[in-house]
Structure 1
């Protein structure tokens, strides 16, 4: 039986899109003539608008780009660790920071739009190992997301996972186009520090209710 059955913590907005509360910021990109929605770690965003692109920066984290190719409705998540049964982060409920919850929520949201499971278009990015050590979080995230799709009987249309390079992703759900920029090695220490800082911040911060449904 599929695990994709829990309610979604994504909320409707005035832009006819859906976003995780406090997990995405929306600005206008004059050069591209589009709204750019930046998804932060532990966040997700879906939209049906052709004038929106979804942007995120990935180190060891993984992002899934999922859409209905028939309608262009789709979105992106950004998870930090593979999975958690309880959905807690150092005692704080923060389910979207874990891959099993983030994947379930995003897939369910696209399915709710009327898409059939077999028609989901899924593209995966991230999971770099930017540091050496006994625990390679990037590799763990990659192994999780590939195993998750296999267990759910879903196939990825495109995969760009692993390695030792950070990525910046620009995703256009209306067309399915993804522009991927590999980050220069000089930026990696900053990216690693940002990820660690964000995780430390999350451990000390109470998460607001709209994300905390698990």
Structure 2
């Protein structure tokens, strides 16, 4: 086992506790889908073995939706910046805003619950340049997640990355299905402000517009 993978395994129990912390305040009944939904905010991840629907809104952020289809365990993360060399920003949970930390913890959490790397199904979304900026943080996030998964020899089975519009993601780990809705330009500032404040508002309004399936 490599040092990197060993480090992941040692943090498995702690990471699972971080993922479950405060989850009850993010869980709600979605009448449209007749499912229990869990909001995944920036800097967080959630892994489940039940028929939950994981929901998030992405501007420049990226979410990876990963599952082991054989055992029915899967989850979603939501990260804001590509990579942290120091490993922490303002405590353990806040470091999840970095892509390398968020990806390691999501994968590690699934493996700790019986998942196998060779079976992982990976879908990635987000990374839009929703605000005019020379930093192009959204596209940098998209490039990071592609490079990370390539380096880890994990194949991307579906993706919807880059562009200029925010996205709303509904992920069903039990089946692997993803519903994606690109949001209107008028909603860009609200999404950007939410990400800047390290929060995201997932509304329970009816989904409108064109929904893509992955």
Shorter-chain TM-score tier: 0.7 to 0.9
2:46 alignment counterpart: 45
The alpha carbon displacement at 1:25 in A equals 0.7
Q: How far, CA to CA, are the matches of 2:3 and 2:67 in structure 1?
A: 19
Residue 58 of structure 1 pairs with residue 58 of structure 2:
yes
Unaligned runs of 5+ in 1: 13-17, 200-214
1:42-191 to structure 2, matched below 5 A, reads 42-50=43-51, 52-89=52-89, 92-93=91-92, 94-191=94-191
Q: How far, CA to CA, are the matches of 1:191 and 1:39 in structure 2?
A: 14
**Structure 1 residues 100-148: Cα deviation after superposition (integer angstroms, max 9, x where no partner):** 0110011111112222211100000000001222211101101111110
Q: How far, CA to CA, are the matches of 2:124 and 2:100 in structure 1?
A: 14
The alpha carbon displacement at 1:30 in A equals 2.6
Which of these residues, 10, 13, 16, is aligned with residue 15 of structure 2? Answer: 10
Question: Under a length normalisation based on structure 1, what TM-score does the superposition of the two structures give?
Answer: 0.83
Equivalenced residues, count: 192
**3-state DSSP class of the match of 1:128?**
coil
Return 29-38 or 178-187, whichever deviates more. 29-38
8 Å contact kept, 2:71–2:114: no
Which portions of structure 1, spanning 4 or more consecutive aligned residues, are displaced by more than 4 angstroms? none
The alpha carbon displacement at 1:197 in A equals 2.6
The alpha carbon displacement at 1:198 in A equals 2.6
**3-state DSSP class of the match of 1:19?**
helix
For the structure 1 residues 42 and 131, does the alpha-carbon distance in structure 2 shift closer, same or farther, using more than 3 Å as the test?
A: same
Q: How far, CA to CA, are the matches of 2:194 and 2:75 in structure 1?
A: 24
Q: How far, CA to CA, are the matches of 1:157 and 1:70 in structure 2?
A: 16
**3-state DSSP class of the match of 1:63?**
strand
8 Å contact kept, 1:10–1:21: no
Q: How far, CA to CA, are the matches of 1:20 and 1:82 in structure 2?
A: 24
1:30 alignment counterpart: 31
Q: How far, CA to CA, are the matches of 2:125 and 2:155 in structure 1?
A: 14
**3-state DSSP class of the match of 1:187?**
helix
**Structure 1 residues 6-58: Cα deviation after superposition (integer angstroms, max 9, x where no partner):** 2134335xxxxx834247710111332211100000000010102x1000000
**3-state DSSP class of the match of 1:81?**
coil
CA-based RMSD: 1.9
Q: How far, CA to CA, are the matches of 1:177 and 1:127 in structure 2?
A: 20
For the structure 1 residues 148 and 60, does the alpha-carbon distance in structure 2 shift closer, same or farther, using more than 3 Å as the test?
A: same
For the structure 1 residues 63 and 164, does the alpha-carbon distance in structure 2 shift closer, same or farther, using more than 3 Å as the test?
A: same
